[in-house]
Amino acid sequence: MRHYKQHFKDKTVFCNCDDPFESNFFKYFAINFNHLGLKKLICTCYAGSPVSYTEFNDLPLFHKDEKLPYKIEITEVPDLNGDGATDLSDIELLLKSSNNNLTILDGDGDFRSEESVEFLKESDIVVTNPPFSLFREYIMQLVKYDKKFLIIGNPNALHYKEVFPLVKENKIWVGHKSMSADMLFNVSEEFGKWLVNNKRQGSGYRIIDGEIKGRAQAIWFTNLDIEKRHENLILYKHYNPIDYPKFDNFDAININKVTDIPCDYDGFMGVPDSFMDSYNPAQFEILGRSGDTEWVFNECTFFTPPPDERISFYKKYNRTWRLQNVYLLDENKLPVIVYSRLFIKRRTNEN
């Protein structure tokens, strides 16, 4: 969050998949409400949220074991002792102010519900970790209502047909955290034990200073401007046809590492997704991605369908062959599929 601080001043932030009791987004914005200069914080809790409401027992709105979706609106965070050090994620304390309120929702708190969309309309920036299974719908809604956002998603979402056009048109980009850096989160002791017994160290979890941290395959998606989008990638390699072979089905050269992008090649280049970390739209243009037939057949000017012998080679070995896979030819002229690629071109008018 700290990399986006400058965007929050005088803004209404909406966390629309967030039970305040379990969401660290709520905590962050409540604790930093005055520091960020927020106008309002709205959080809505989904009916299916697993959190128990026992903490609310003293509040007249809740009864023991009741699981009602609700909304919390914060417009004032009292600085009780003047140093801002009180734990202002203490919801009951926050609700003592008449400028803050908790209300039960009419519906189930689904981010697509009418009332949730009304809160969306009144907000400026949406920040959350939405359910990955609904990511497509989630992001389409944000775009439809022209909202600023900072959300967590699976890296593969870059290739979704709903998301990639936004990437290409510079309407969404990868946030400050490097795509390859771990996204770690605190876990309960019990869940930590489960991770150790059921997942592999390094992929499912990490142990940092003796503490088990959960590890998510996740990146930030945002349309808030960040510095790294304006930094030029320093290119120092020179093009040669041996180190940079062309794909057989795309008139583009293969680049395995972003740092290998040559400084003197003006044509199409197929780069790994990690390129998004170094993407400065003033330096490069993104043209397309592997894995999409629609784009390949309708829009791509540098795609040639693979000849029959390549397809039969794959069929012979029962391998999955998708026409839109990018592939190189090995020394025996046999196709070798290259993992996911984004196609880019250097902008020549950069300076």
Ligand X SMILES: C[S@@+](CC[C@H](N)C(=O)[O-])C[C@H]1O[C@@H](n2cnc3c(N)ncnc32)[C@H](O)[C@@H]1O
Segment contacting ligand X (CB under 6 A): 128-136, 303-311, 315-323, 342-350?
128-136
139 is a site residue for ligand X (CB under 6 A): no
- Tell me whether residue 215 or residue 289 sits nearer to ligand X (CB atom): 215
Q: In the numeric block, which tokens belong to residue 203?
A: 């992929």
Residues 350, 235 contacting (CB under 8 angstroms): no
- Binding-site member from 32, 49, 123, 254 for ligand X (CB under 6 A): 49
Show contacts with ligand X in window 27-46 (CB under 6 A). Answer: 46
Cβ-Cβ contacts under 8 Å for 212 (sequence gap 6 or more)? 187, 192, 193, 195, 196, 205, 206
- Tell me whether residue 28 or residue 327 sits nearer to ligand X (CB atom): 28
How would DSSP label each residue in 201-237? BTTTEEEETTEEEEEE--EEEE-S--GGGGSPPPP-B
Residues 135, 132: Cα–Cα separation, whole Å: 5
Element (H, E) at 70: strand 70-74
- Tell me whether residue 213 or residue 237 sits nearer to ligand X (CB atom): 213
Smallest gap, in angstroms, from Cβ of residue 109 to ligand X? 6
Binding mask 85-114 for ligand X (x = CB under 6 A): ------------------------xxx---
Residues 130, 224: Cα–Cα separation, whole Å: 17
279 is a site residue for ligand X (CB under 6 A): no
- Binding-site member from 4, 14, 21, 25 for ligand X (CB under 6 A): 25
| Residue written as token pair 């909202």 | 147
Smallest gap, in angstroms, from Cβ of residue 25 to ligand X? 6
Segment contacting ligand X (CB under 6 A): 20-28, 141-149, 200-208, 232-240?
20-28
Element (H, E) at 33: helix 33-36
Smallest gap, in angstroms, from Cβ of residue 3 to ligand X? 17
23 is a site residue for ligand X (CB under 6 A): yes
Residues 41, 32: Cα–Cα separation, whole Å: 11
Q: Which residues lie near ligand X (CB under 6 A)?
A: 17-19, 22-25, 46, 48-49, 109-111, 128-129, 131, 134
